[in-house]
Amino acid sequence: MSLNDPFGRQAAKQARDYAAVAQALREAGVDSLDAAERCLVNIRRNAIVMVWLVMLSIVLAAVIHPPALPIVLVCSVAVLLWVGVSTHRGRTHLLRYMADELGAETSRAAVRPDASKDAGAGD
């Protein structure tokens, strides 16, 4: 029993979420490490696009109707939190899928596209 999750509700929800993501990945034909890594890149790209769209909406609100800026900022923070949490959960589930289903050893260095550059930088 965990103090953070005494009744196991969060663990059960995470297990259901992972099962749904794994099933969706199987149905989408993600059956190789290359395809899974492309999904990781897409998750990151989609998050970046969403952040840029939110920033654009803030700028547009500031230019078009400045009195609405506080409301837009509050909504923007909520959207950015949602994007961040969704991206983190998606990456976590995908990394677990890669480890469980595809037999990959997943780590931060192995997933980052520029990890090979960083490894040689200290030499």
Residue 25 lies in a domain: no
Residue 63 lies in a domain: yes
* Segment 38-80, tens digit of pLDDT: 999 999 999 999 999 999 999 999 999 999 999 999 999 999 9
Residue 66 lies in a domain: yes
- The residue range of the domain holding 108 is 31-121
6: pLDDT confidence band, cut at 50, 70 and 90? confident
* Residue 41: HSE in the Cβ half-sphere, 13 Å Cα cutoff: 9
Residue 8 lies in a domain: no
Assess contact for 36 and 94: CB atoms under 8 A. Answer: yes
Q: What is the pLDDT of residue 30?
A: 87
8/4 Cα distance (integer angstroms): 9
Number of domains making up the chain: 1
38/91 Cα distance (integer angstroms): 12
Q: Say whether pLDDT at 105 is over 80.
A: no
Residue 51 lies in a domain: yes
